[in-house]
Each structure stands twice: as C-alpha cells, then as structure tokens.
Structure 1
Amino acid sequence: MELIHRNLLIGIHDALQETFFEDRKYADKVIERLLKGHKQWGSEDRKVVAQTFYDIIRWKKRLEYYMGEGVKPANIYKLILTYCLWTKTHYKKFEEFDGIKNAEILNKLKKNNVPTKAIEHSIPDWLAETFERELGPSWEREMVALNEQAPTILRVNTLKTTAKELVSDLRDENVESFLIPNYPDAVQLEQKKNVFLTTAFKDGLFEVQDASSQKIGELLDVEEGMRVVDVCAGAGGKTLHLAALMKNKGQIIALDIYAWKLAELKRRAKRAGAHNIETRLIDDNKVIKRLHGTADRLLIDSPCSGLGVLKRNPDSKWKIDQEFIDRIRKEQQQILQDYAKILKKGGKMMYATCSILPSENNEQVETFLKNNEEYTLIKEEKIMPSSGFDGFYMALIQRKA
C-alpha cells in the first residue's frame, strides 16, 4: 500500500484533534490554517492531507464502527489507520505511535456490512430518524450524494467578464474549467485547485459559489434601478451576484448582525467592482423599522441547519442536534415575520435556505402565508443534493398591491 509520510500524518492528527476536541473549530478553517502553516508541502502532499482529513470527518461514525469504539483524543491515530485500511490508500504502519493491533478492524472490514443505516451513511442516529421522518425513503439517495466530494463551482462576475472569457483566462493560468448548462454564470473546475492564487480571482473576475446558490439571485427577478434589501447578507456571496444582475444600477442594502461579515463583504465588493452596495449593521430594531415598506425586492437567505451542504461542511453534522434544528425553525419564522415588512406593496421577496428539510422550507412558507394574507406565493424551487449540486430551497413571495 502507498505510504503516508510521518509529518503529514501528524498534521492530519492535529487537525482532527482541533476539529473534534479543541473548541470544536470549523473544519474549513482548521485545514486552511494547517496548509498555510506548512508551505513546504508539495501539491500532492497537500491534496493527501486535505482529502484524508475531510474523508475521516465525513465517515467518522462508520470508522468508529470498524474501530469498535468512539473517537477519543487518545485514539485519533487509530481512526486514521482505520480509514487507511478501509480505503486501502496511504497506509503506513502505526506501531511507532501506539502499537495498534489491526486484527479486530480487519475482521469487521472483511465482513463488509454494517448494522444500521446511520452507520452506513455515517450520520448521527437522531439525524437518520429526522431524514426518515421528513424525507421518507428518498433520504438515503440524498445522503449518498451528501457524502460525495463537492465540486468547485465559480460564479463569473459579469460586471467584468463573461463565463466563456473566464474559462479562457483560467486555462491561461493552467486551471481547466467548463460551462454548466442552464446556469449562465456558472463555471465548474475540472479538478480542485487553489483558485484564490490566480490573477483572475485577484482581478475580481469570479467568486466561488455553488450553482444552486446562484439560482437564488436569478429567481429573485431584480432589475436595474431597484432598491433591494438583503437582510442576512453575511459575507455577501449572493449580494455580489445581485449587484452584477443589476449592472451596478440601483441600490442594494446589505444587513447582518455581525460587523466582521459586513467588513468582508465590503472587501469583496471592492475587488468585484460592485459600487451599488451599502452595508448596515443590525444592532437594534430601529435598523429594520426604518426600512419598512421601502424595498422593491427582499432577500431572506435564512439561517438554517445547513443539511443541504454537508458535502462541503461534513463536520456540521457532528456539531448540531435536534434541539438546534427546533431552535432554528423558531428563528426562521420570526425572521420571516419581522423582515417581510421591509417589502413594498407589489414587491417580491425570496425566502431561501441551504437545508433539505421541509420543516425549514415549504412548511415555514406555508405557516407565514397562513398568518399573513397580504402575501402570496409566486413560485418555489427545491434543489436536492442528488442533482449533483448543493441542496437548496427557495420561495418567491409577493406582497399584494
């Protein structure tokens, strides 16, 4: 079997320790910091580290079954070994670390069966029950897709270039990519690369944004000269798309409760050449009240469980629970109720989540419409992970004139 070098192994171990036991940090931040701290690693080494790290997080429950025990700080090397034995890649004898015996693991691997669906798909028991209850038998098909590696998809910045021109520019920088049918602003990479080092990125020609996420801006039906409010703007991925769709004409007010996210949005907007965005921090209720009845279009990209994007954030399934989902559903309904008042009569708003649970999606919209008769549903779209892209829900709602 192919060997994995000792220093790479130590790096993977430390990253897993940080993700699961040291403040339970987000996996993407942990791996980013690890790779930045080891610039001496070559591209293949970096690929091995990142892939092994994410695969172990993704398949943790199944690996624990093969191990015969749960993951503890003292046995992370055994977790890595189990992964290497299971996948038959990058195997190295671990005796030099803790004298691990492999017989029990190999015996379970040879049997090639697991006792429960939760173990098979490597998710918590409570989540398997939630998927079964809310999605029915189709949940397993979606979970298979969510355990796959996510593709890297870019959104071309049409304020500066076109999708075809971006593909050509990236090829000049040895990054191969292709257009995606029915997604006019989307470009997909042939294989994962650090596109943030490219001149094309530094010049603001694109942002990394999944194809499903790009549908939200299109469905909101913005026009040049409109006043658009994005109430959960975050770092502004969708805000920047709206600016491009509006050709920098009109006004976009980007709101969020976190100042650091809005600061990142400003930085990204400057690189993208998006000049029609104004950021406002939600630090009291007056910020929202001042905007009542002023928006032609309203985007509510609501906080959610993130269960539609587990292929990108596999660690989140180990960090949330049913109590979190129950709490987030109450928050979603409150956000809908409070922020919908920003919309003008005759205006349209989008309620969107990156969840695949009906209780966070269409059921929330149904409850809102039942309690607010002056709003009506125009259309809704549900994109499931089995489509090949991220799982998203979006509902376009109009306030009656």
Structure 2
Amino acid sequence: MTPGARLQAAIDILSTIAEMRHPADRVVDGWARASRFAGSKDRAAVSELVYSVLRHRAELAAALGADTPRLLALGAVALIDGAGHAGAMALADGARHAPAALAPDEAAALRAAVLPAADAPASVRLNYPEWLHAEFERAFGGDLEAEMVALMERAPTDLRVNLLKGTREAAMEALAAENVETESCPLSPWGLRLKGRANITGLKAFRDGLVEVQDEGSQLACLVAGAAPGEQVVDLCAGGGGKSLALAALMGNRGQIHACDTDRRRLAKLMPRAQRAGTRNIQTRFIKPHILPGGADADFPDLEGKADSVLVDAPCSGTGAWRRSPDARWRLTPELLESYRVTQAEVLARGARLVRPGGRLVYVTCSLLPSENEDRIAGFLGQCEDFVQLPWQARWPDDLPVPHAPPGLALRLSPVRCGTDGFFVAIMQRKT
C-alpha cells in the first residue's frame, strides 16, 4: 500500500467507528481480515494512525476546528506523527486509493492547525471528556496531568503464566524458542511482559495453555482477591473467564469455581480456554440479569450463604483501560456511566447473598472513577451492616514487592503509580 492508501484506509476505519460506534479494535480487525492485499507493515501503519487519532482526538479537533475523520487523520499525520502540514497534504493528492485533494477550507484548517497550548483546558490537552474532569481531579488530585498523559500511551502486552502448566522461567524459555523476548513483570509473580510485538495466539506456548494474555493489573487483582485450594468460589461477572482461570491456577485445580454471566456468548468462550489451560475445577452458569428484591435468587438455590469467596468483577466505564481502548473515552456518556453505577450496586447486593459467614466479597473494576469505586463500596457497607472492609495489604503475600498504591483499605492501581492498567479492588468480609 502507498502512504496515501494507508491514510485513506485509516479515514475509512475512523468513519466506521464514528458512524457505527463499534469498538475500534473490532473495526480495525474487520478491515484487516477483509483487506488481504495489506501486508503486516501496512496493517500496523493503518492501525497506528487510527489509534493515534483516537488518543489525541480532543486536541486535534481543537487544533483543526473540526472533528471529521478525514481532517482528524490528516491532522494526526501533520501534528502527532511530525510530517508537517505540507507532508500531510501531499498524501491527499487524489491518486488511486489515496484521499481526494483537500477542499480550500480543509487546506486552510490544516495549515492553521496548532496543538493546544499549556493554558488550554486539561480535558482538551489530555484528551478526555470535560464532564469527567471533576471525577478525575477527585481520583488523582495533583497527579491528574501525569496520569492522563499515561493513559494516552500505548499499553504493554502482558502475559500470565499458567502455573498448572509450568513456571515463569519455563514460559520465558518456551517463548524465546519462538523468538518472543519477554521480561518478568515488576509485581505479578506470574507475569511476563513482551519486549516487542508478537502474534500471541499463534504461539505454541499459547496453544498449549502455558500463557494467557492478561494485564499485570488484572493479575494483581486476582492475587489480592485470593482463592485457596478447596474453596467454593463464585465469579459473578465472569465474561470470558480470564480471572476465573487465574484463580483456578491459584487453587491448584482443587475446590470449585462457579463462573457466571448474563451473556451466553461471552461465557461460551471460557470452557475452551479452561480445557487449553488444563483447568478442571471451573463450571459455568448462565444467570439472569436481575433478581426480585427480597426474593430468593433462582439462579443460586445451592450457593446462597455458602461461598468462601465471591468475586464481583463489575461492569464499569473501563476508564482504567483507556491505554488499550482509547475510543472508549469518546463512547462513554453520563447516561451510560449512571447505568453502570446502578448495575454495580445490584451485583454487589446479589453477590453478598452468596457469601458464607467469614467469607469474602471482592469487588473489582477497571475504572479510575470514585463514583464507581469508593462510592459504591461506601453505599454497599451502609446498607449491608454484616460486612466489614478488610485492608488489601493484609491479603498481599509477604514475599512480593508491594505496589506503590495510594493509602486506603482498597487497592488502587494506575499506569503512573504501578505501571498497570487502572484497577480498583475492595475486599469485604461477612461477619461471623
């Protein structure tokens, strides 16, 4: 593909994302599958330009005075990639597969474009919705700028070594034999971080179940949640089952994990993954979204008040994962955020009913917003007086380095403080 054709492909993808409001990774993958003429370097270049626009959309729109996919892509080439106005305009020459020549108003906007200065609003310079500013200030205080800059960077690719299949050292050797260089993650005892890029799902180490893709922050959430051999564990919002698989390894295949979800399609992905991982103590359970207040939970007649641990990996805004999904920041609305908060309260209340006296209720989000984290826990504890919050430090293994997390009972991870995606973990115990 020519540079102009790559630019046009990025414009087409951005247009689809804007019109359909589909996740960017799904649209990019769909384009790649349908564009067999595109080589690996072409796919990488197109993908990089798309994600560059999504990471910098607010400042590009401010610089250009417009937010059309075509101008945003040209602006990213000129201002983010460093090609300059002339370099970007040269790619839109109307040649075959390249963008059409710029209209006079487009050319004028591109020539005049300058990225916002230091006195511009933080939400513009740092590319997040302005209506979230108060929440981020509350979350980060004086660290807001550094954390939001970090959320614009590309996230590393982390792997979790499956201890049911081998050690971290054995996994590093197996990956090196496939020309994939890794290093140990700083905090997770099971974590490996790629030094470059690789097609993980095509590797023998992945197909054999020795490694799974999982951010180090997610691994740490599982580590502090804990699960001992022989326990009865409920993963209430299991999705594709990444955390269930990590907990199964912690349990050494002893005990039982009940992986539950309201989406049959997501849940169906778990058992093939469990088979590949050599996991034998997971069973899946499709559940309905809601239960009647005060009534019996028909989906859990056998587990009410009996679980040693209930993991509530709650649906959330995903603000902690913006490094991986920069388009998610632009899809989030106040109404959608409020719907997440309602669901979070519901699943916390539902999970609490399953915990035995002395058992644990673990609430996890990949959100950085206090309204989805601290506020939800405060609301829950205010209504459920038979639970008490435990300090996460008490659940942390003595032989591991401690995350540089903010003080408090809950564990809060972020890119700047911990080098991970943003996560929140609160551990509550039911009184005996």
Q: TM-score when scaled to structure 2?
A: 0.86
1:225 aligns with 2:223: no
- Partner in structure 2 of residue 32 of structure 1: 29
Q: 1:293 aligns with which of 290, 305, 315?
A: 305
1:339 aligns with 2:351: yes
Instruction: Work out the CA distance in 2 between the residues paired with 1:95 and 1:45.
Output: 19
1:370 aligns with 2:382: yes
Contact 2:161 2:211 in 1 (8 A): yes
Q: 2:218 aligns with which of 213, 216, 231?
A: 213
Contact 2:209 2:277 in 1 (8 A): yes
Encode CA deviations 1:38-62: one digit per residue, 9 max, x unaligned: 3443332222111111111111111
Instruction: Work out the CA distance in 1 between the residues paired with 2:22 and 2:283.
Output: 31
Instruction: Work out the CA distance in 2 between the residues paired with 1:59 and 1:98.
Output: 23
Q: Give the partner amino acid of 1:293.
A: G
Where 1:348 maps in the other structure, the secondary structure is strand
Where 1:166 maps in the other structure, the secondary structure is helix
Contact 2:136 2:368 in 1 (8 A): no
Q: Give the partner amino acid of 1:79.
A: L
Instruction: Work out the CA distance in 2 between the residues paired with 1:301 and 1:65.
Output: 36
Instruction: Work out the CA distance in 2 between the residues paired with 1:185 and 1:276.
Output: 20
Q: Give the partner amino acid of 1:69.
A: A
Q: How many correspondences in the alignment?
A: 394
RMSD: 1.9
Where 1:109 maps in the other structure, the secondary structure is coil
Instruction: Work out the CA distance in 2 between the residues paired with 1:57 and 1:276.
Output: 41
Q: TM-score when scaled to structure 1?
A: 0.93
Instruction: Work out the CA distance in 1 between the residues paired with 2:108 and 2:198.
Output: 38
Runs of 5+ unmatched residues, structure 2: 292-296, 392-409
- Partner in structure 1 of residue 71 of structure 2: 78
1:176 aligns with 2:181: yes
- Partner in structure 1 of residue 411 of structure 2: 381
Instruction: Work out the CA distance in 2 between the residues paired with 1:354 and 1:182.
Output: 18
- Higher mean C-alpha displacement, 237-246 vs 126-135: 126-135
Encode CA deviations 1:175-194: one digit per residue, 9 max, x unaligned: 11111233100000002222
- Partner in structure 1 of residue 404 of structure 2: none
Where 1:288 maps in the other structure, the secondary structure is coil
Contact 1:164 1:179 in 2 (8 A): no
Contact 1:151 1:192 in 2 (8 A): no
Encode CA deviations 1:310-360: one digit per residue, 9 max, x unaligned: 111111111111222222112211211122110111111211111111221
Where 1:286 maps in the other structure, the secondary structure is coil
- Partner in structure 1 of residue 82 of structure 2: 88
CA distance change for structure 1 residues 347 and 307 in 2, over 3 Å: closer, same or farther? same
CA distance change for structure 1 residues 204 and 390 in 2, over 3 Å: closer, same or farther? same
- Partner in structure 1 of residue 62 of structure 2: 65
Q: 1:360 aligns with which of 363, 367, 372?
A: 372
- Higher mean C-alpha displacement, 122-131 vs 88-97: 88-97
CA distance change for structure 1 residues 4 and 63 in 2, over 3 Å: closer, same or farther? farther
Encode CA deviations 1:83-119: one digit per residue, 9 max, x unaligned: 1001225845203133225443333328856732221
- Higher mean C-alpha displacement, 365-374 vs 341-350: 365-374
Instruction: Work out the CA distance in 1 between the residues paired with 2:123 and 2:14.
Output: 21
CA distance change for structure 1 residues 307 and 287 in 2, over 3 Å: closer, same or farther? same
Instruction: Work out the CA distance in 2 between the residues paired with 1:113 and 1:183.
Output: 37
Where 2:300 maps in the other structure, the secondary structure is helix
Instruction: Work out the CA distance in 2 between the residues paired with 1:277 and 1:13.
Output: 44
Instruction: Work out the CA distance in 1 between the residues paired with 2:208 and 2:251.
Output: 20
- Higher mean C-alpha displacement, 194-203 vs 273-282: 194-203
- Partner in structure 2 of residue 46 of structure 1: 43
Runs of 5+ unmatched residues, structure 1: none
- Higher mean C-alpha displacement, 62-71 vs 183-192: 62-71
Contact 1:134 1:359 in 2 (8 A): no
Instruction: Work out the CA distance in 1 between the residues paired with 2:259 and 2:379.
Output: 26
Instruction: Work out the CA distance in 1 between the residues paired with 2:240 and 2:122.
Output: 36
Deviation at residue 289 of structure 1 after TM alignment: 4.4
- Partner in structure 1 of residue 430 of structure 2: 399
- Partner in structure 2 of residue 116 of structure 1: 121
Instruction: Work out the CA distance in 2 between the residues paired with 1:123 and 1:208.
Output: 27
Identity of paired residues, percent?
Answer: 36
Encode CA deviations 1:342-395: one digit per residue, 9 max, x unaligned: 011111121111111122112211221122121111122111221321000001
Instruction: Work out the CA distance in 2 between the residues paired with 1:293 and 1:384.
Output: 34
